[in-house]
A = this chain, B = another copy of it.
């Protein structure tokens, strides 16, 4: 009985999911182009040809990772958009939820930020369209804050890029077992960045 339950639990991580997770790990460490399907198969203890029973192509794995992360980023932002409060409060919340998505899966985030360019059309264009849309959320909050005199006057696109670049580096150094918790990182990063843009 116990064994049966154990097996059921184990099987919840499907082979396909195992492939996705291991690929995420390898794409992060070596990059998409430098990771071969034989690499991936060896790490899973199977032959390269066997991978194709579960996935259609190497690129499909990349697409899954990138679009899944895109969904997570958008989902995290939906609370912020409808939230009320000052531009300052909403920006801080936006920065924090963005960081939480990254710290929850730093490896998938790394692939999302660094390997998307290896997707072919039409996936590439769709991806870039989503990214633009996402970035405009930050630009809108910046614009509002500037109009309401909460933020310093600045080029909004420049501001957005400066804010997001700090957030989008987190996956390179954040360690779940490190001395700063995910929540620490989110709070401290957001505070520092808000202080940089707010009117004094």
Residues of A participating in the B interface, judged by any CB pair closer than 8 Å: 30-31, 33-34, 114, 117-118, 154-155, 158-159, 161-162, 164-166, 168-170, 172-173, 179-180, 185, 188-189, 192-193, 195-197, 200
Kindly report how many copies of this chain are found in the complex they form together. 2
Determine whether the beta carbon of A189 is less than 8 Å from that of B162.
yes
The answer to whether B166 touches A162, judged by C-beta atoms less than 8 angstroms apart, is yes
Shortest A28–chain B CB gap in Å is 10
Tell me what chain A mostly uses at the interface: helix, strand, loop, or mixed: helix
Residue of chain B at shortest CB distance from A169: B165
CA A123 – CA B200 in complex, angstroms? 46
- 10 tightest CB-CB pairs across the interface, nearest first? A165-B169, A196-B196, A33-B33, A33-B34, A192-B196, A195-B196, A165-B166, A166-B166, A162-B166, A161-B173
**Which of B117, B154, B169, B179 contacts A169 (CB under 8 A)?**
B169
Shortest CB distance A109–B (Å):
13
Distance, CA A180 to CA B193, complexed state (A) = 21
Residues on B with C-beta less than 8 A from A173 are: 161
Chain B residue at minimum C-beta to C-beta distance from A189: B162
